[in-house]
Amino acid sequence: MTAGSTHQDVLDWTNACWDRLPTAPALRARAGEIAAKLAAEIAGGKLPFLATPFMAALEKDLADLEAKYLPKFRHMLLLGIGGSALGARALQKAFAPGQDLPGHTGKSLWILDNVDATSLEAHLSRLPAKDTLVYVVSKSGDTIETIGQYFLVKEWLKRELPADWKDHLLLNTDEQKGYLRQEATQFGIRTLPVPDNLGGRYSAISAVGLVPAAFLGMDWRGLVRGFQSVAGPLADPGLDAQKLSQHPSFEFALWGKALMDAGYLELITFFYIPAWCSFADWFAQLWAESLGKDGQGSQPLPAVGVTDQHSVNQMFLDGPRNKSCLFVERAQGPEGAPFPADMPAIFDYLQGKRFGELLPAEALGTRMALCQSAVPLVALRLGKDDAEAAGKMMALLGAATLLTGWLMGINPVDQPAVELGKRLAKARLGADGLEKEKADLLAFTTGDRDERGF
């Protein structure tokens, strides 16, 4: 891209520091192996998040929901956790920020992604049930945090709307199995299926994120269009080593793995599009849960510009030299209001400028400071911060995460350590079975403790 161009999305590799990443050439030589693995996995139906075979049916369902169902409601209460919530929150913050601003009177999305009794009670005491759609998202249909919320929200709906409580529930779950599927069958509750092999953290561009997007009136078709423009070539049966080598997600995966090999074990995701900062949290789960395996991986560090210039950037710039950075910015933002003419003389440099010029100036300053502080950095610069660009970015980062995992020799679509914590929690609550976990809990909680007041 030429200097000053603002019409396209671009990855700027100028400061990626390839010269400090000696394993990159050997990793690049694995393009044929990775391309063959992609083809086999897609042919086997194991990567629906890239191939999106479910999209045609989902687009029809979404259009029907938009026309006949979603307009009935003013509030959506989303019950979900992790990948069932992070994508929806990022999209709401980026493209429907009105509910976070004073005087909002339009539609609102409320997300319960934790087991906080106070928050649950506050939502149920203040939301008007007759105007609220409860969207329950759990692929397994058995996620204890989400199902725990569902039990209480279902009782709330039955109490407030005894005649038509079922019409205020929409379940997104497995098509065949799980508790939520049983509920849907027993009570005739409206559902949308989660495709097989679609893991939560890879599911934002599916019904998981697109239903809230449609509810809030976002350009969800643009999201899909952007996503498929980047993901589609990876699902093409004609993909080979040369084509994969030219795909930006493979280049990012090479960089990510080579960084780990060179000891750069923390990846800053610095978003200089303030409304998009929740995408950093979405990416943090994607990268951490996918790649933190077998003692490997790098820790994602979400950051938002300019806020974190004044909080954690000192560590980024002058702390341990184990950090790299994905720097996300836009080519051009809003102009903002002009500065007044009667400012003190020490601020003369602002004369004739607008408030919107501060953010890109600070972004440039931070990006240069990181590079001068020896932080390997790739800049993702968006021509427009619209839905299509967001879809492209989500496909890029999702595919890059998957490919990085394969280059690491791990499975990037499971989360075994997380499952252990879930089993221990269920054991603590008295679930049947789990005898080993119950014995381990007893030993952990009754052993000698070193506890001191403060």
Report, as residue numbers or ranges, the catalytic residues: 289, 310, 422
User: Which neighbouring-strand residues pair with 299?
Assistant: 266
Three-state DSSP state, 194: strand
Residue that the structure tokens 């693995």 belong to:
37
How far apart are alpha carbons 321 and 451 in whole angstroms? 35
Q: Which of 393, 274, 374, 429 is nearest to 20 (CA)?
A: 374
Residue indicated by tokens 């929690």? 425
Distance of alpha carbon 399 from alpha carbon 248, whole angstroms: 9
Q: Which of 354, 334, 274, 356 is nearest to 309 (CA)?
A: 274
Q: Which residues, other chains included, contact 156 with Cβ-Cβ below 8 Å and sequence gap of 6+?
A: 124, 129
Return the half-sphere exposure (C-beta side, CA atoms, 13 A cut-off) of residue 166.
10
CA distance 63 to 46: 27
Using an 8 Å Cβ cutoff, are 305 and 366 in contact? yes
CA distance 100 to 93: 8
Structure token digits, residue 195: 């495709």
| Tokens (6 digits) for 42 | 């897609």
Q: In 76-99, which positions are buried (b, 16+ CB within 10 angstroms) versus exposed (e)?
A: bbbbbbbbbbbbbbbbbbbbbeeb
Burial of 270 (0-12, 13-18, 19+ CB in 10 A): buried
The Cα–Cα gap between 357 and 339 comes to: 10
Helix (H) or strand (E) holding 110: strand 108-112
The SS3 call for residue 199 is coil
